[in-house]
Chain A
Amino acid sequence: MKNHFRFLGLLCASLGILTIAHAQTPLDGLMMPKGEICIALQYEQVTWDRYWEGSTIRVNQNIGTFTKQMGMPMIVGGITDKVNVILSLPYVKTAASAGQMAGVQGIQDLGISVKALFLEKTIGKGKLTGFSNLSFSTPASNYLSDYMPFSLGLGANELGIRAIGKYELNKGPYVRASYAYLNRGTTNAEREYYYANGSVYSSTMNVPDAFQSQLTLGSWLFNYRLRVEASLTTIRSASGDDIRTYCMPLPTNKVDFDRIEGFAQYYFKSGGKGLGLIASYQQAISGRNMGQFSGYGLGITYQFKAF
């Protein structure tokens, strides 16, 4: 019984924390039962006033404080008890508090993700679960990626494959680890020459692939109505060049960062159905070729039995 409503809670819990750099990819160790649907609306805002140019911190007063806001509708559906599908479509807005460069806004990338439960085993006083996840995202508007840091996204298709393992004690605390390989395609600039450790005579830009790993400690509280998590995420690009001195970043850059996050989700009704609320906070603790960001997220979820 407990297990069952854990599943229910999980569904909306699957929304987790978003990576603002690109469309969300579901990382968590949760699964919705067949026929359940969760609809979520999330808002996230991150800001930075310093960024890593390569690995050197740069303050640029012509940017001031950079803000990226994202509103994202999302649907998670249980196709079977062991297979979930997740769809997301973020709307992004960027702006700088100083300087004269224009910010942009628009629809970013459509994300489609399938998560499957492949391992479920009781060990000691808890349960070990394993998931695999295949995600795909693709630009959903003709935004220009070669306009960083303002661009809405990387402008490239991304195929992600992920393994997630979780061990949860019957009393509620859990530990979760995930590891993902994110394969990025190319993006198109609106110029036919650029410099990436040398001349490139093409408008095509290779967006580096990346490895993402995450370690999470969390717990269910108040009879499974509240879930809290703390996690550490690392992103490492497999290739790419550094931002050149006092230059704009490029989609070809090697972007790395480590981020800590806090996350909480509250369900008004025990068992997960109906309304829920999400709040999160995230902060970059080290990085390369990206803003030293921090920010928060708020969301509302609604879960129901559809079929």
Chain B
Amino acid sequence: MKKYNYITIGLLLFTFLVSSCVEDLPTKYDFTGYQYSNLDANAGQWKLILHTSNEQISIPNPAAAGSPELLKELADAKEIQKKATSAQREAVGYWTNNPLLRWNEIALELATKYNLIPAPNPDGTYPVPDAANPSKYPKFPYSHPPYTSRMLAHLSVAQYDGLIMAWQYKYKFKRQAPYQLDPQIKSSYENNGLFSYPSDGAVIAKASQDILTAMFPLEKEFLAQKAQEHLESLIVAGINVSSDVEAGKLIGTEVAKTALARASTDGMKNAQTTRAKSDSIKNAAKERFGWVWENQETPQRSVGLVPLFGKVRLWNVPNVEAIRPGPPPAPNSPEFQKDAAELKQYANNLTINQRRIANFWNDGLNTYTPPGHWNRFAKEEVVANKLSPVRTARVFAYLNMAIADAGIACWDAKYYYHYPRPIQTIPGFKTILGTPNFPAYTSGHASFSAAAAEVMAHFFPANAGQFRTWAEEASMSRIYGGIHYSFDATAGLTQGRQAAAYSIAMAKLDGAD
């Protein structure tokens, strides 16, 4: 009898345990469509970034309200809405009426997926990703922070120029949305009253698909499927008819081409150098300053990460020399000794909060990198402020141009000064974060974060203090983690702020404020 009691208790417990297994965790930012705080009716007049005219990409004149063509499209839209599958309705909820945020999220996920450092070959050399053969190990791209910053800048700028043009045509043609033209069509989102021709969602879908496909060629099918789902959702949601979508696709396709043409000649393809070029850069620094950074891994990586990223074309900063900091203190100078002592002090007495900060901002391999981290903050801020799609695109465009410029300038300093990392200069030094494969001065985290924080502070002044605090925390995180000296962080913060100032100056003159 007793035996059966045990078995019963055991079974009950087992059932309870199995049922309480895995917690559902968020795989995306949880938000829904919303009422835009402002439709930004004059956004068609805002200053473009890569294009010269707001009608540079032409689209057909739309069929007039009441015309047979449009009535047919409305009838089709109604049918599509009626027949929508549950998956299509779910897609409407997912994409929202500010779908740029979802494409940005997809970009961050791909950045993470491809942020894997090449492992050594059996002979101790390291393979390099090959854009011409992307599926061969190591897969192309290696989406490290410089690559990710550049990817996000091109994505955001294409989206922004595309939406400025979309707004130009929306307010030129003033075609009402399906839910306004036909009372039987319901909008799945708030009735914002935004004109529907061309579809801003389609501009975003197509521009994002094409930019991301070029940046992550192995994801071509995944991105095509995402774009298809997004484009379908625009009609299912009742906010567009098919001609809206087609016109939006035209603009999206063309702005992506312009942005990708820029990307193809920006110098990125030369950023990862040969061993010989890398050695000559190293020797130049040695002659100039007397010190040199060496990778400390085993086997040693003979070439650092993208030594010529500092030569990549800038967005708004005139040249890297304009914001190149002065030299760091020489190893073993009193100033160096002071910061090295600080590192040892943190390593031996790290508080839980300092450890938390180091890990919170680490954003290393297999993550969306610091540029991705700041894009995430921007997304949350956009939703909190209920920005329109075009004003959202503006935030991301200036944010990501500033971040990319800060990265380029930072990389220039890194390889110009070629300064050794703490694990190289301090004997026996151990760290809680992995030391990256590039020189120390200036700190990339500090530079990226200060640039991002300044742009965010410009667009969202109510939280300016918070953003700047975060940037300082991000810069400190590398010191707590043992991979940067204090002088790297200080110089990086300054450099990032200076880089951002150029983008902010452009934003101030773009007609949006």
Contacts and interface: CB of A to CB of B under 8 A. Distances in A.
B352 A142 contact: yes
A101 B376 contact: no
A190 interface: yes
A212 B175 CA distance: 65
Interface string B10-45: 100110011011110111110000000000000000
Contact of A186 (B23, B105, B299, B367): B23
A7 B361 CA distance: 55
Interface in A115-152: 116, 118-119, 132, 134, 142, 144, 146-147
A207 to B, nearest CB: 10
Contacts of B298: 61-62, 98-99
A201 B28 contact: yes
Given A100-B435, A142-B352, A204-B25, A199 B10 contact: no
B432 interface: yes
Size bracket, chain B contacts:
35 or more
Contacts of A58: 119
B27 A161 contact: no
A201 B14 CA distance: 30
B490 interface: no
A198 B366 CA distance: 11
A142 B296 CA distance: 31
B313 to A, nearest CB: 30
Contacts of A245: 116, 119, 138
Interface residues of A, number: 46
Contacts of A44: none
A202 interface: yes
Nearest to A61: B298
Contact of B359 (A98, A101, A146): A146
B92 to A, nearest CB: 21
A118 B14 contact: no
Contact of A199 (B109, B352, B363): B109
A188 to B, nearest CB: 10
Nearest to B482: A102
27 contacts: A58-B119, A100-B296, A101-B432, A102-B431, A116-B6, A132-B10, A161-B13, A161-B14, A163-B10, A190-B356, A190-B358, A190-B360, A192-B360, A195-B113, A199-B112, A200-B26, A204-B23, A206-B22, A206-B23, A206-B25, A209-B21, A244-B366, A245-B116, A245-B119, A246-B117, A246-B365, A248-B366
Interface of B: 2-3, 6, 10, 13-14, 17-18, 20-23, 25-29, 105, 108-109, 112-113, 116-119, 138, 296-299, 347, 352, 355-356, 358-360, 362-363, 365-368, 373, 376, 423, 429-432, 434-435, 482
Interface of A: 58, 61-62, 98-103, 116, 118-119, 132, 134, 142, 144, 146-147, 159, 161, 163, 181, 183, 186, 189-195, 198-202, 204, 206, 209, 238-239, 244-248
